[in-house]
Each structure stands twice: as C-alpha cells, then as structure tokens.
Amino acid sequence: MTKVKDQILIDRLAEAAREGRISRRSFMNYSLAAGMTASAATGLWATSAKAQPKSGGHFRLGAHDGNTSDTHDPGTYVSFSMIQLAHTFRSYLTLIEPDGSLGPDVASEWSATPDAKEWTFKLNPNATFHSGRKVTANDVVASLNHHRGEDTTSAAAALVSDIEEIVDNGDNSITVKMAGGNADLPWLMTDYHLAICPANEDGSIDWRSGDGCGPYRLVNAEMGVNYELERHDGWHLDGAYFDKVTITVLNDPNARQTALVTGDVDAVTQIELKTKSLLQRDPNIAIDEVPSAATVTHPMFCDQAPFDDVNVRNALKLSMDRQEIIDKIFFGTASLGNDFHHSPAMPYWPDDIPQREYDPEKAKSLLKKAGAEGLEVTLHTADSVVSGAVDMAVLYSEQAKQSGITINVKREPNDGYYSDVWLKKPWCMVQWGARPTPDVMYSLAYKEDAAWNESHWENDRFNELLVKAKAELDDAKRAEMYREMALLARNDGGTVIPIFTNFVYARRKNVQHGENLAPSWQMDGARACSRWWFA
Amino acid sequence: MGDILSLVAKRLGLGLLILFIISIIIFFMVELLPGDIAQAVLGQGATEENVAALRKEMGLDKPAIVRYLEWLGGAVQFNFGNSIVTGESVTATIGPRFMNTLFLATYAAVIAVPFAIVLGIIVALLRNSIFDRVANVATLSAISSPEFFLGYILILYFAVNMGAFPAISSLSEDMGTWELLNRTFLPALTLVLVVTAHMMRMTRAAIINLLASPYIEMARLKGVPPWRVIVKHALPNAWAPIINVVALNLAYLITGVVLVEVVFVYPGIGQALVDAVSKRDFPVVQACCLIFAATFILLNLAADVGAILTNPRLRHPK
C-alpha cells in the first residue's frame, strides 16, 4: 500500500519537474522523503526534469507601460516596455544572472586597483553589433560618455557622476577612473540606461538607428505599440533560444490577462494582483513570483518638526502593521520591510536584524518621551506611486490610530508628483525601483549630501561607513559595514519602509525557464526573451 | 446650388477661425499642466542639471508665446512641427495612427448606420410591440454601459469563451484584409453597440412624429401598406434629423474611441493623444485636438448640407 502511495508521489514529483514547477532542491527533498535513494532521485531528476533549453519558435510577450513618445535614447529610458526591449536588443557591460549574482556581458572580465578607484573592463572579442561590426572599446567609451558631461540629458547622470575619465586602453579593454573608490562599479554597469550603442565619429552614440549588440536584432519598432525582433546569430553569450520575438505593448491589465488566456501572447509582465488567484486556476498558465528590491518608501524630513525627534520617527515606524498591508493591499505579493533600504534580493543583506513589529503601546511610550502625544501629521501620496498607494496610506492611518497618532492622508495629482511633492513635502510616499546594490541605494537617497536625500537624514557614522564600504573590496568586511548601516537606518533614519514588492508575471505553460529568475526586473531581469524557451 | 456653396464657404471660414481659437486654448492648457515635458521625460531620474539640458535641447527655454507663434507660423503652411519628445515629424507620428482610427470608424459606421436606420424603421413600423420594447431596452442598455465594460463583455464571450475573435487588435503590416477585419471586429462591434441606440431612436421618433400628419393618413386611407407608408411617405421627410444624429455619431466614432483603443490595444489616435498629454508633447497634442475639432466641424457642416438637400424648404428661410 505504501509502495503505491509512494509511487503516486514520485510520479507527481516527476510531473512537477517536467513542468518546471519545482526546484531541484525541493525535488530531491521530497523524493528522499518518498523513500528514494539519493542516486535514484538524481537520475529521476535528470530524466524527467524539464528538458534542456531548445531553440525555435516565435515568442510573443505582452509588456505593460509603453508610450507612443518612447525613444531609443538610452539616457531617457523610463517606461518598462523600453527597459524590456533594451535588454532584448542591446547589451550592457555586465549583467545580473538569474541567481542574482553579477555576470559578464560585453565585458568578459574586470578588475580593480586596490583602492577601487580604477576599474579595467576587458571586452568580449566576440561581441558584435547587428550591423556586423565588432563592438570596440571606442563604442563602450562613447556609450558611457553619453551619460556624462555638463550637457547630458541622461537620467543616469547622477549614477556615473563619480567617474572622472574613461580610457580606451587600445587592447580591447577600457579603464574607468573615479574620484573615489567604488567597489560596486561593475554592478552599476548593469543599469538599464548604460546600454552599449555604436559610436559615431565625433564620440557621440548612434541610438536612433536601433542598432545594438544584444541577443535579438530589431526588425520593426513602432513605439508604444509593438516591436518585432529576430535572433542575432553570433550573439556573444549563451541563450537566445527563440527564432523570433514580438513585444507588444499592452497597457491595460485586463488586455494583458485576456491576451494570455486566449493565447494571443505567450507571456505577460505585471499581472493584476487582485485577479491573480483567478488566473492561477487556468491550467495552461503559470505565474512567476519573485521577491525584489523594489519598494515604496515613506521618507520624513528629519530636520523638520515633528520628525526631527527620533522618537517620533520610530513611533511612526512602530505604528504600521506591515503584515496587514501585505495581505490587504498587495494580496500577499510582497515581503516585509524593516525600515532600511536593503532587501534580501540585494547582495550583503544582513539576515540577523530583528523584524520591526506593529507595537502601538511602544509607539505611545515613545511619543510620551518626545512630548508629542496626540501627534497629527500629513502623509502625501498619489495613486501613481504604486497600485493601491492611497488605500495603503488610509490603512496605515487607521493602524496608527491605535498609537494615538492622526495621519491625514493627502492625495496629490499623479501628474508632476515627482517634481512637486517628492523632496518638497515633509512626508510622502515614493516608489523606488530595484537597485543592484545597497551602496547604489544608500548613495542615491540616504547620503547626507545626495540630491535625493529624501528624508534629509544626516547621520555621521552612517555616512562614514558608506564611504568606507564603497571602496572596500573585501566582501566580509563590507557585509559587516552594511549590517551596521542597516541598523542605523532602521533605528535612527527617517524612512518608513513597509514592504518590498514582488515581481508577479505570468506565462503559458509551454514557455519554460531555468531554476532561478533574476530579481533585478520583471521577466527574469527583463531578459526573458533571451533566457526562456519553448518546451 | 449657389446658396449651398456660399453656405459651405462661410462655414469653412468660420471653422478655420474656430480651429485657431482651439489651438490657442489647447496650447495654454498644456502649459498649465503641472510639471513640464523635460520632467515628464526624465521622470523620477530628473536632476536640475539634466532637466535644464533637456529643456534647452527641446527648445523649452524660450517663452511660451514665442513657441506658440513659431508653431502657428508652421501650421499655416501645413507644417505641424516635430514631436518634442521623439523629434520626429508630427505628420509621420500621427498619420498612420489617424488612418487606423479612420479605418475602425469606417468599419463601425458601415455596420452601424444601415443597421440603426433599418432597425429604426422596423421599430417605427412595429411600434409599441414587444419587438419595439426589446430593441429599445437592448440598445439603450448598450449605450448606457461604459464602452470599456461593453468591450470586456464582448472579449469575455467572443474571445475567451468562444475563441471566435482575437482579444487584442494589434495590427501588423503584412496582414491581409480578411485578417484585418477579423482582428478589428470586436472593437468595431463595441462601437456599433455604443452608437446604434442614438441613431435608431432618432429614426423611430422622427418617423412616428410624421405618422400623425394628414398626408400620412391620406396614404393610409387610400390603402397603402404600412411599410410603404413609412418608407415612401414618412422617411423622406424624416431625413433631416436622422442625418444630424448620424453625423454626430460619426464624429463620436473618431473622437470618442480612446477607451475602446485601450481595451483592445488598437493603435489609434486616441492612445497617441493620451501619451502626448502625459508627456506634455504639445505639437502632438495640438495636432490630435485639431484633427478632432476639424472632424466635428466638417461633419456638422455635412449634416447641415445633407439636411438642406433632403428638405428643399430649408433653402428658402423666411
């Protein structure tokens, strides 16, 4: 009897493995529990686990967030469909692997001087543009320079502002010289703006033609409507299994969902969380959910009453029931935030910092200490911050009532939110996309003199550590510094970070992917078109 | 005919004046929107320096009135400028989109206008019968539901449950006519449902109004069958109001389709307009709005001319 039962279990496991619903590790665990020997389980995994990637087919992807006014200028990339497209037809110096680690792209290897001030990237000699021309150091220098200089119009200008000079070494490598040490530079090179484009003779780049050195060649592009691509034979990395790729912009969540259900597309980005459980019932559809480093922060001006008192700041942090927000606003598709801007999806994440719980009593006592009982504050928000942002603010204000705090929710217009509200109002909600490393995030929005220091937080120890950690090439020492910085931000900082959102996207079951999905962007780090394949 | 020609000339002149006034209003409304195009393009990634650089590149450092006059100078020579964001000519950006919208509107109109008028005649003939009631309730329900809701219902039944038509109407260049008609059937059907009620009920009302007239009674008394009374005797005198309503609905088919475009992912001009407004891309906004305004002006004119031609009495106002 047990034997039959075990056999059923094993069959089911094999089926799950075939459909790619189960990771190798869980497969082994369950198989051993079902009474198989380790070697038998390994054999079964090898025979039944989903087939190795195979080439062929026309992959149709429905992507959200596309506009008629999008352009190929990598400096002004802003909508998600363009980021998706950029990772399909362009390449970067480095990339984020499915397991979240850093991997080679146009640069095949890189090394730094001990002070991390100079980084040398060796270029992959096999990298070619779709026009057939080889990718040279000159192209890479021009591509990076596009975001530098006084008259640059690039949104990545702040990211590369530390770079003083980029040198073509003449041996198919480049050296980036910086004002201060930065151990994260290879990670920065994954930023979606820093695409490698062909250089013009005058040192600018040719972004208009749509030529790139990515896995697919752009055949036809109608901005904000659809993009047709064909495989770039001779791409310098592994992958690019599909023969053809079409990315269709489907801004309406319902249109994306129906297109997927009816088979008009093979995969879609960003599904509606409200209807996720309904979509899950469709036997032909698989939903992928990946914890990310994207979040919604609530920065308060630490130099302005009442937020200039750390007790008030912490009382506000304690007055939020994060689990309820995850359950009710994000329908379970988020993970707990702990008031420091460093998610488990980033490297160096400290896993031993206690989770901040909802504790109105403690919040009350902190307020008493601060002499701020009956605190009344205004939280500015807009629907565009994140789907459900206003609801989230209202829920938070209800939760905060338990601590005797009145939060007035002020709904602002979506238009111009980031020019008129963010960095202007003392307390508001801000959407942050995933950044690759803690240093990038902290340098952008928590460093005392950063233009985007959204909470006006100035902590000497934190800033000292930030500079030190930035140039530290020893991973263990770095991790320890980031741990201390996380604690400082959590206990002294002025930013409430309730959650980190998950990426939730869906595909038809005949589309398969590897064991891991990159946490940097939706659709496997926006590289689904070159990493996935048809069963 | 001379009087009609002079009417057309007069109305066209007036139309140009209206377009000019609309262009001023739209320009300053876009100016009033919070934030500007450089900030909209750079989004959250905007810093003071790159916003300033982008503004300069886009020519936004000039005062608003200068920019408007520059645009106007081009527009009177039929040069509608370049999109500020993409730098491409507005005509090239909007042209194909507008053709798509026209195609969808024509598709819907070719179905909706005959359908609505024939249905109107039938319900006038069978007035107060069950059929009349059902047709009225059905068309009124269709017009009362928002278009996106109708669209979703059609998608649910025809695309998801029956699989008869595709759920999204994205177009590609190598599509045959048949596939094109098939792909765009659901959005066209949505539009048909939205505009039918208005035209059908106007046809019905206009005909029924006339049925009490002495000459209709005369026709009946002489033994003309009811359908003939309506088609031959009543309808010719009812054309004027019907043409008016048809013209208004045709204008709606072109200008009111943005929701349908979004639901069915149809690359028409409405979507282009929404994108342009969110980016403050003034030349594109201006061109889209002027197209819409011109559509209304021309169709109104056509309605008046049509009404006059079908009713000679209107050519001699007392």
The predicted model gives A33-40 an average pLDDT of 67
Least confident residue range of A188-197, A395-404, A407-416: A407-416
**For residues A371 and A72, what is the distance between their CA atoms, to the nearest angstrom?**
55
The secondary structure of A14-68 as a DSSP string is HHHHHHT-S-HHHHHHHHHHTT--HHHHHHHHHHHSPPPP----EEEEEES---T
Spans of chain B, pLDDT less than 70: 1, 44-45, 317-318
Token pair belonging to B60: 């936004």
Residue B11, CA distances (Å) to A469, B2, B246, B265 in order? 73, 14, 19, 36
**Could you tell me the CA-to-CA distances from A74 to A153, A208, B264 in Å, in that order?**
10, 10, 29
Q: Is residue B143 part of a domain?
A: yes
The residues with which A298 forms a beta bridge, in sequence order, are A496
Please tell me the distance in Å from A153's CA to the nearest CA on chain B.
Answer: 5
Would the CB atoms of A255 and B54 count as touching at under 8 Å?
Answer: no
Closest CA to A60 of A237, A213, A197, A249: A249
Q: What percent of chain B has a predicted confidence (pLDDT) above 70?
A: 97
The predicted pLDDT at position A5 comes to 59
- Within-domain flag for B312: no
CA A11 to mean position of chain CA atoms: 36
Residue B65 placed within a domain: no
Alpha carbon dihedral B290, B296, B301, B304, in 10-degree steps, equals -170
Q: What is the pLDDT of residues B93-126, one digit of tens each?
A: 888 889 999 999 999 999 999 999 999 999 998 8
State the pLDDT at residue B271: 83
**Closest residue of chain A to B267, computed from CA coordinates:** A225
- The residue range of the domain holding B213 is 96-280
Q: How far is B168 from chain A (nearest CA, A)?
A: 6
Q: A291-502 falls under which CATH superfamily?
A: Dipeptide-binding Protein; Domain 3 (3.10.105.10)
How far is CA B96 from each of CA B85, B103, B179, rounded to the nearest angstrom?
A: 18, 10, 18
Q: Please give the residue that has the higher pLDDT: either A63 or A31.
A: A63
The pTM of the full predicted model, rounded to 2 decimals, is 0.84
Overall residue count recorded for chain A in this entry: 535
Q: Are A400 and A448 in contact (CB under 8 A)?
A: no
- What's the confidence (pLDDT) of residue A444? 86
Contact A255 B262 (CB under 8 A): yes
Mean pLDDT, range A43-52, rounded to an integer: 61
Number of domains in chain B: 1
Tokens 């042209």 sit at which residue?
B95
- pLDDT for B67 equals 86
Domain ranges of chain A: 3-48, 291-502
Helical (H) or strand (E) element with A502: strand A499-508
Q: What is the pLDDT of residue B31?
A: 83
CA angle, residues B273, B277, B279, in degrees to nearest 5: 120
Q: How many Å lie between the alpha carbon of A36 and the closest alpha carbon of chain B? A: 43
User: Is B89 domain-assigned?
Assistant: no
- A220: chain B residues, CB-CB within 8 Å: 173
d(CA A110, CA A94): 10
Question: B211 in helix, strand or coil?
Answer: helix
- Minimal Cβ distance to A255: which of B56, B265, B279: B265
Task: Please say if the pLDDT value at position A513 is more than 60.
Answer: yes
Assess contact for A329 and A395: CB atoms under 8 A. Answer: yes
Model confidence band, residue A8 (pLDDT cutoffs 50, 70, 90): low
Tell me the percentage of chain A whose pLDDT exceeds 70. Answer: 90
Residue range B271-314, pLDDT digits in tens: 888 888 888 888 899 899 999 999 999 999 998 888 888 877 77
CATH of the domain at B180: 1.10.3720.10
How many CB atoms are located within 10 Å of the residue B242 CB? Answer: 26
Mean pLDDT, to the nearest integer, of A281-307? 93
| Chain B residue numbers touching A223 (CB-CB < 8 A) | 86
Please answer yes or no on whether B284 and A69 come within 8 Å at the CB atom.
yes
Which contiguous run of DSSP H or E holds residue B25?
Answer: helix B2-32
Q: Fill in the DSSP letter of residue A374.
A: T
Distance of alpha carbon A213 from alpha carbon A221, whole angstroms? 16
CA A249 centroid distance within chain: 20
Distance from CA of B301 to the nearest CA of A (A): 32
Identify the H or E element spanning A296. Answer: strand A285-299
> pLDDT per residue over A201-258, tens digit each?
998 999 999 999 999 999 999 888 899 999 999 899 999 999 999 999 998 888 899 9
Q: Which value, in Å, is the radius of gyration of the alpha carbons in chain A?
A: 24
How far apart, in whole angstroms, are the C-alpha atoms of residue A424 and residue A510?
49
- Chain B residues lying within 8 Å of A255, measured CB to CB: 167-168, 262-265
* Residue predicted with more confidence, B77 or A353: A353
**Three-state secondary structure call for residue A306:** coil
Q: Is A197:A74 a contact under the CB 8 Å cutoff?
A: yes
Mean pLDDT of chain A: 90
The amino acid occupying position A334 is A
pLDDT beyond 90 at A420: no
- Structure token pair of residue B128: 């107060």
Terminal Cα distance for chain A, rounded: 35
- What span, in angstroms and rounded, lies between the C-alpha atoms of A220 and A119? 37
CA distance A134 to A1: 65
* Partner-chain residue, chosen from A252, A415, A422, that has the shortest CB–CB distance to B265: A252
Please indicate whether, in this complex, the C-beta atoms of B271 and A224 are within 8 angstroms of each other: yes
Q: Among all chains, which residue has been given the structure tokens 């200039």?
A: A308
pLDDT score, position A2: 46
Task: Enumerate residues 6+ apart whose C-beta is below 8 A from A270.
Answer: A64, A65, A80, A253, A256, A503, A504, A505, A522
- Specify if B294 maps to a domain: no
Tens-place pLDDT, residues A467-482: 999 989 999 999 999 9
Contact (Cβ atoms closer than 8 angstroms) between residue A396 and residue A365: no
Q: How confident is the model at residue A1 (pLDDT cuts 50, 70, 90)?
A: very low
Predicted local confidence at residue B51, as pLDDT? 80
Q: Decide if B45 and A223 are in contact by the 8 Å CB cutoff.
A: no
List, for residues A434-444, the tens digit of each pLDDT value.
888 999 899 88
Question: Closest-CA residue in chain B for A261?
Answer: B160
